Structure 1
Amino acid sequence: MAGRRTETSDGKLAHLAAATSQRLPRMLDDVARLLDEHWPDYAEFIVTERDEVLVSANMFLQRLLRMAKWDIAELSGIAEGADRFGEQPLFEEIGRAQWQQGRDLTSLLSAYQIGARVAWHHVAEVALEVGVPSDMFASLAEAVFIFVDQLSSASARGYVLEQSESAATRERLRDELADMLLSDRSDSAAIRAAAARVDWPLPRQAAVVLVEPDNPVGSALLGRLGQSCLHVRRQRLVCAIVPDPGGPQRRQWLSSALRGAGAVVGHAVALEHLPASMHIAELAAQLRRDHVLTDDPVFVDEHLDSLIVHRDAKLFDAFRHQCLAPLAHLGPVTRKRLCETLACWLRHLGDRRAMAEELHIHPQTVRYRMAQLRELFGESLDDPDNRRRLTLALAWGGSEPDDL
């Protein structure tokens, strides 16, 4: 084959191969010594697995010497990516293992470089002793560093692939856990197992946080809540499950972190009640879209009364029509004025002075309006149950029931 060396050169290489094989134990000792200061685990591996490492090192040297038979053009082909000896899959796996064991890639690549320097030192010394021709010596040097570069690239590729795949798998498992927590069909044993797979400590309580899917600011702020929160994207809402929302300073943290996000924070519940809490939070989100709730963010536990009242709009409208039926025949202006007066009377428990101050009218006007109301409602104004109903109808229905 064009580019192969002469038979004499082959003899020199055979002599070189024999001599370097004898030096392998010294070579490994040098590598272990250099690694011991910064990477003692690698040094210990060389010592404890010496026989296995010697076999691998000898294979490396034999392949290196075979590469030395090629001229620079052939070596350039290897440098451009040809895996002539099929080592890349093995070193990709080494890179993957490096990520799996929680080690950084830099230490592995540095160890490769140290091994290459020590190997070249010994090989070059023997090559000079046996009189390897200068062109072969140059090819040998080129081969050493091409070989190490390729192995380093393979390990780096394996490391990055494993990192990416592990991240994707972890996110998928976290998504599965979140779906289980929000499903009313998941048992506690399955949830514990799913949480253990992603190393998510099961909290005593949790809450859901919802933002609108078309709100990029809300989605971005939700994403900054950190890895302690489980993130879920549903068709109508972007959601996160926040552990222990009632912990020290957690409410203040959520209020600050979510300001401007248009978020709804569900009430804190035990994990088995999260599906029901999610339903209530979704109702609160709808009321926020309807501008019934306007806080930023909305904390559901501060608005449970509004949620109870507004969860069925048709039922509430029917209730208001029933409670305020005595006012239905009045004109809009009179009806509004009397509704305001009646709501004020209920708030102040009939204190006319307080009513006059709030409504900015004379106490005599208060007396006159109340006389109108008593004529319309009769004795029902003195019925405690009816007062509760009127309070509910006026407090959440507004003071302008134009649709009566």
Structure 2
Amino acid sequence: MQAAMTLTPAHRETSARVAERARAVRRNVPEVAAAITRDVRASIPRYDAPGTRRVLDEAVSTALHRFLDAVDGAPHRDRGVEELFRTLGLTEARAGHSLSDLRAAVHIAVSCSWQFLRRTEAESGSGQPIRSDIADAVIAFADHLVAEADAGHAEGARRRDGDSLRARARLAESLLTGAPTLPDDHDAWPVPSTVLVAVVELPDGERPDLSALGRTALIVREGDRLVILADSAHREQVVETVAAAGTGRIGLATAPTQSAVPAAFRWGRRVLQMVQRGVIPEARVVDAADHLTQVWLHAEPGLRQALVQEKLKPLLAETPNSREILSETLLVWLETRDSAPAIAAHLGVHPQTVRYRWKRINELFGEALREPEFIVQITMILKASVPLWKAGDQSDFERFQTSDQA
């Protein structure tokens, strides 16, 4: 970057005497630089670290020469001091530091420089008052360097935030996909021992404000949904913040270990899908922990469909109305093993209606209803399928009709 510090007319003494004095003190730059760096290191211990000393020495020496370049009025090569201080500001930001230490260092440098200039002026014996003009020039130059550092710091903060977001996105992807090792920058978010995974539906085009979660959670976009990873101890805060942001349904699942995060992610998505299909009752917040059996039973849709066709063929051959009432009655009996009056009370019908239905169920399945393995199988199949049928999903019956006609 080609940049030059330009002093305003009010800050530049253009007389030959000032230029001559600037050239005369240039040989003392090493002495002044040593005094400045000594005082800076004594006042700011962080700048006394081995890795920082060289940078400090270079910044002080370059700034002193550049200042003398500006006041002696002669053409000089670009010493890159603006770029140097911009880089210093950027480096401080990337390290997460404010510019308070750098500002303090510049203040020390101004004080040391002014003391030196005042002493050399007194020693010159000229007796002519140029001190205030030089003081203005020193302060203007220091302000110029601080402004460059400010610009670099702002840029560094933007880069740091961008790097942090990218690092957090990489970490989230690794956790959600079950990568065997986390990225090197996984300290971007300390992974808690128990991870809450929240899958959030987003209305079209909405960008909810979740800044209240701060940096305590990982938030990534997945199509028309958001995925939030947080410490399970912050469950209430996550739910309240997301709900207040005006999002859609929220599917929750908890991973007891880091390796279980991918499974929790699947469960969070699955419970939302089952709400959409009518398998799980409509709710704003759906916790997979409350529906684990259904999550399990719907883990492999193709297998459920195949078992329906194999085990419930007599029921599929009934009329739509008969299928509905018989499957519902059979499922209640399988789950409760209650008497006809108890089942009737559960279904809201007369006991004699239940007895009639039970007679028809026995006609359909016969002796199979006395086989323990068959009972276990159809219990699971009906538990997974009846909610679908009641929600209007007719795919099982359509598949049966197609295969029956083939």
Aligned equivalent of 1:68, options 68, 71, 93? 71
Partner residue, 1:268: 255
Aligned equivalent of 1:41, options 45, 53, 71? 45
Does the 8 A contact of 2:23 with 2:72 survive in 1?
no
Aligned equivalent of 1:360, options 348, 363, 375? 348
Partner residue, 2:401: none
CA distance in 2, matches of 1:43, 1:178: 36
Alignment pair present for 1:209 and 2:198: yes
Partner residue, 1:79: none
Partner residue, 1:162: 156
Which SS does the other structure have where 1:68 is aligned?
A: helix
* C-alpha deviation, 1:349, in angstroms: 0.9
Distance 1:279 1:394, change over 3 A: closer
* C-alpha deviation, 1:393, in angstroms: 4.0
Distance 1:295 1:104, change over 3 A: same
Partner residue, 1:308: 296
CA distance in 1, matches of 2:100, 2:140: 18
Which residues of 2 match residues 3-402 of structure 1 at below 5 A? Answer: 5=14, 17=25, 24=32, 32=39, 40-41=44-45, 63-70=66-73, 85-99=79-93, 102-117=96-111, 119-120=113-114, 123=117, 127=121, 130-131=125-126, 139-183=133-177, 186-188=179-181, 191=182, 194-195=183-184, 198=187, 200-206=189-195, 208-212=197-201, 220-221=209-210, 224-235=212-223, 237-243=225-231, 245=232, 249-259=233-243, 260-293=247-280, 294-328=282-316, 330-398=318-386
Q: Give per-residue Cα distances to partners, 1:320-375, cap 9 Å, x unaligned.
A: 35544444555444443334433333333132232232233343443344334334
Does the 8 A contact of 1:88 with 1:154 survive in 2?
yes
Does the 8 A contact of 2:167 with 2:188 survive in 1?
no
CA distance in 1, matches of 2:184, 2:72: 57
CA distance in 2, matches of 1:9, 1:361: 108
CA distance in 1, matches of 2:114, 2:251: 65
CA distance in 2, matches of 1:59, 1:377: 94
CA distance in 2, matches of 1:328, 1:60: 88
* C-alpha deviation, 1:152, in angstroms: 0.5
CA distance in 2, matches of 1:151, 1:114: 14
* C-alpha deviation, 1:187, in angstroms: 3.7
Let me know the Cα RMSD of the aligned residues. Answer: 4.6
Which SS does the other structure have where 1:264 is aligned?
A: strand
Which SS does the other structure have where 2:97 is aligned?
A: coil
* C-alpha deviation, 1:235, in angstroms: 4.7
Q: Which amino acid aligns with 1:160?
A: A
CA distance in 2, matches of 1:86, 1:26: 21
Does the 8 A contact of 1:284 with 1:300 survive in 2?
yes
Identity %: 22
CA distance in 1, matches of 2:205, 2:156: 31
CA distance in 1, matches of 2:384, 2:218: 35
CA distance in 2, matches of 1:208, 1:155: 41
* C-alpha deviation, 1:151, in angstroms: 0.9
CA distance in 2, matches of 1:12, 1:328: 105
Distance 1:157 1:326, change over 3 A: same
Q: Which amino acid aligns with 1:68?
A: V
CA distance in 2, matches of 1:269, 1:22: 62
For structure 1, list consecutive stretches of 5 or more residues without a partner in the other structure. 75-81
Distance 1:211 1:218, change over 3 A: farther
Does the 8 A contact of 2:199 with 2:268 survive in 1?
yes
Does the 8 A contact of 2:252 with 2:268 survive in 1?
yes
Distance 1:364 1:57, change over 3 A: closer
Q: Give per-residue Cα distances to partners, 1:234-267, cap 9 Å, x unaligned.
A: 4565334445x3xxx4444444444455232344
Q: Which amino acid aligns with 2:199?
A: L
